[in-house]
Structure 1
Amino acid sequence: MTSFKCLSVSQPFAYLIISGKKKIELRSWNTNFRGDILIHAPLKIRKSDCRRLHVEGNLVTGAIVGKATLHDVKKYGTKREWIDDVRYHLASSVFSSKRYGFLLKNAKAFSIPIPCKGRLGLFDVQIGATGPNDVQIASDIFDEEYRTQWINHH
């Protein structure tokens, strides 16, 4: 089994992260973790945000839908800083209590979502812990990404 850090992000924001349209995930807490994280979409879909952001279609829930690299955290000290980054975090309310912006890059959607129950905070996921087929699915996904990385750069 392989362990990964994972972050639950409500839809449509999980979709927007893995499609590269959302570069900052707002949180009320900070983290020292830097590196690849899995993006989990919990069961809840924020319908008003789907309408506001023009996201339509069937959004996957209750599963790990992709990954991204958390490369830094930005602390928002002023309303102006927060407003300047709205195009990256896509929040609807003005200067909320979510004062930490997790800066994300290298986002990628998984072609096969991995069923998983979410948790609060940045949590550990053991890929392969939920069933025998999950190990092969996870292995295929990461092997496919590794091969694509090399093929597309030659």
Structure 2
Amino acid sequence: MTMMEVGIKVLSPIETFFLPLENLIKIPSDLWEQMAEEALIEDYMAKQDNPDNPIFKRTFPIELERNQIKILEEFSGEQPQREYEPCPPDIRCLSTHAPFAYSIAMAKNDIEIRRKPTEYRGWTLINASLSKASDEAFAEYHINNNVPRGCIIGAAELVDCVNIDPGIWKYVFDNPNYFKKPIPIKGKQCPLWSAKSDIERKAFDLAWNQIDR
């Protein structure tokens, strides 16, 4: 006999529910429609000891309100499996003017110009500063300037640092992530900074768990 379950991964907070197939018909139509609109990102098969009895599971990434999560908890008959991870201590954050921050996170630009080189490579949180000094650049990237500022709005992998002129360096980014939920935190002027205070570490944790890595 083949058993089937559907996994529903809630992005914030990050939780996973596995619902028996027969319970799917009990989900309210509006909630099911929201889940059905989301992209199916992962299909996988997990086998029990008996290879002839596979359990098929499909995972849908969705973002739900707290009251909707409570509905799923009732249908699942179990507590959600939390997958929250603390941010690694070596992760850095780049603070830059809002147009440039959003252009990187939204995959409209993959570089940042700086006057200092860096040997850091890896995931980098992107902080949109409060400054409006470069707001004319929003039009260049076709981004609405009515955006949250003074917060971490995404992340990308810093993959290279290239000297393009005397005293001018180009940071090259890949795998951009644009966060659905910006995390308010004051930025810093240094090229790449790490979390030092409890507030900064909490902000980094929240950001780390929004990265599709």
Per the alignment, residue 125 of structure 1 pairs with 195
Question: CA distance change for structure 1 residues 12 and 141 in 2, over 3 Å: closer, same or farther?
Answer: same
Instruction: Structure 1 unaligned segments of length 5 or more: list them.
Output: 78-96, 147-154
Between the aligned partners of 1:134 and 1:50, the Cα distance in structure 2 is: 26
Per the alignment, residue 182 of structure 2 pairs with 113
Query: Is this contact kept in 2: 1:12–1:59, CA < 8 A?
Result: no
User: Is 2:149 the counterpart of 1:61?
Assistant: yes
Query: Is this contact kept in 2: 1:25–1:103, CA < 8 A?
Result: yes
Pick 1 or 2: higher relative contact order, CA cutoff 8 A, min separation 6.
1
Between the aligned partners of 1:36 and 1:134, the Cα distance in structure 2 is: 15
Between the aligned partners of 2:149 and 2:192, the Cα distance in structure 1 is: 18
Aligned amino acid, residue 193 of structure 2: F
Deviations 1:99-153 (A, max 9, x none): 1000100011111111111112210026x9229x8588446524xx35xxxxxxx
| TM-score between both structures, scaled by the size of structure 2 | 0.51
- What SS class does the counterpart of residue 125 from structure 1 fall into? coil
**RMSD over aligned Cα, in angstroms?**
2.7
Aligned amino acid, residue 114 of structure 2: R
Deviations 1:11-36 (A, max 9, x none): 11111100111111100110000111
Report deviation, 1:49: 1.9
Deviations 1:49-72 (A, max 9, x none): 224444324222010000000001
- What SS class does the counterpart of residue 6 from structure 1 fall into? strand
Query: Is this contact kept in 2: 1:68–1:107, CA < 8 A?
Result: yes
Aligned-residue sequence identity (percent) comes to: 29
Aligned amino acid, residue 39 of structure 1: I
Query: Is this contact kept in 2: 1:73–1:100, CA < 8 A?
Result: yes
- After TM superposition, the runs of 4+ consecutive aligned structure 1 residues lying more than 6 A away are none
Instruction: Structure 2 unaligned segments of length 5 or more: list them.
Output: 1-85
The aligned length equals 124
Between the aligned partners of 1:28 and 1:8, the Cα distance in structure 2 is: 14
Higher helix share: 1
User: Is 2:139 the counterpart of 1:70?
Assistant: no
Aligned amino acid, residue 124 of structure 1: S
Per the alignment, residue 97 of structure 2 pairs with 10
Q: 1:27 aligns with which of 114, 120, 144?
A: 114
